[in-house]
Amino acid sequence: MTWLRNALWRVFPTFVIAMVVFIAGFFFGSQSRVGFAQDWTEMPEYAREAFESFWQAFNLIEDEYIDDVPIETLVDGAISGMVDSLGDEFSSYMDPELFPLLNQDLEGEIVGIGVVIRTNDDNEVEVVGLIEGGPAERAGVLPGDVFVEVDGRDMTGLSQAELATYVRGPEGSSVNIVFQREGELVEFDIVRERIIIPNVESEVVDGDLGYVRLNNFSPDARVELEDAIDALNPDELSGLIIDLRGNPGGLLTSAIDVASLLIPEGTVLIEDFGDREERLNARGDAVDYDLPIVVLVDETSASASELVAGAWQDYDLVTIMGEGTFGKGTVQTWYPLVNGGGVRVTIARWLTPNRHWIHEKGIIPDIEVIWNPMNAEEQADDLQLRSAIAFLRGEELPQPEVEPTSPATP
């Protein structure tokens, strides 16, 4: 039903949780601030004495360290260390190489080879999924292949984001990649292509029920979602299923837009900045579909997905079905730096309209349906989707045909 689900979400459930932390943290929040106060580039007077030891360490390295180290490397390390000291998993630094990739991913397209990756237990980056028909699949790359070299550069110890900067490149250019496969090295020359990531997928299921899946809260998510529902002829449907499973989040503004699709007026969420609160309201352009609506969620529905599901649940507009969501109740904003990098900072907690803070708790479904398939047979039997169909039909919920296999403890 969806390339993304086939590639990843249900085949590698333990990896998905880790990946959601990465993606949701990177993308959820208001859009990147393009400007900043002028004095942010100057040291405040009250910090001058405290930073004397920092400059002492910098000058020691410059004068005494055995090798020459680019100043940019020291600056990147200093910024990373400062942000890491916050102890906040969702605040982070992106260097000038990585930061430009942020907007590319939010736009729903990338130029690359078409693989889904994870960091395995040996701290290696391996392929766990292939985009159907993509360059990597055509070249012969297989799930389980571990990155060894990219254009002659050793990939040992690199993060997924760092590796992505070397794998991606101009459309039509070739990248040489050496993988380790079952103890042997295999080498591929792969031509990079522009890969469009489908953000909305829709179809009519079980005769007259609409099914729409939203994969990311991109800038155009509201328009895409509404257009997809309209294309299903909602006047001829007896129910609607909106699938937010595996949706890691996206832009805060997009989440407000999507929530406003069903909320005619009132608060969508409350932002708690510590010293003040701000209520963000519906846009006032809701659509009355006059249909019973089920929203599917799972443990990989995070951030903006939780915001939307929580708001619709508070207003009793939908029936939430599936598993408890990820539980990310904070808001981040990206601030570009003068070096071309960017810093993401947690600026607020967010609450549902009824003032629920879902952080580390998640959205609790109205109807819980646990489903953790670990192989193709179990994956093909989408128990949660079948349960949504049965609920909309007023029928007894189905039981799993195959007993789910518990994921291994990482």
**Cβ–Cβ under 8 Å, residues 149 and 178:** yes
* Active site (annotated) includes residue 314: yes
Number of other CB atoms surrounding residue 407 within 10 Å: 15
- Provide DSSP, 64-82: H-SS---HHHHHHHHHHHH
Sort 128 into a burial class: Cβ within 10 Å, 0-12 / 13-18 / 19+.
buried
Catalytic residue among 243, 257, 272, 314: 314
**Cβ–Cβ under 8 Å, residues 323 and 306:** no
Catalytic residue among 303, 305, 382, 387: 303
Which residue type sits at 73?
T
How is the chain split among helix, strand and coil, in percent rounded to 5?
30, 25, 45
CA dist 238 → 112, 199, 211, 233, 281 (Å): 41, 24, 11, 11, 29
* Active site (annotated) includes residue 67: no
* Active site (annotated) includes residue 361: no
Which residue type sits at 377?
E
Rounded to whole angstroms, how far apart are CA atoms 218 and 234?
24
DSSP-based three-state secondary structure for 313: helix
Number of other CB atoms surrounding residue 398 within 10 Å: 13
For 42, which DSSP code? S
Rounded to whole angstroms, how far apart are CA atoms 323 and 300?
9
Nearest-5° angle of CA 218, CA 214, CA 364?
110
Catalytic residue among 92, 305, 328, 382: 328
366: left (phi over 0), alpha (psi -120 to 50) or beta: alpha
Residue whose structure tokens are 């529902």? 229
In this structure, what token pair is assigned to residue 382?
């989408």
Q: At 104, give phi and psi (nearest 5°).
A: -60, -45
Residue whose structure tokens are 């102890």? 87
User: Which residues form the catalytic set?
Assistant: 303, 314, 328
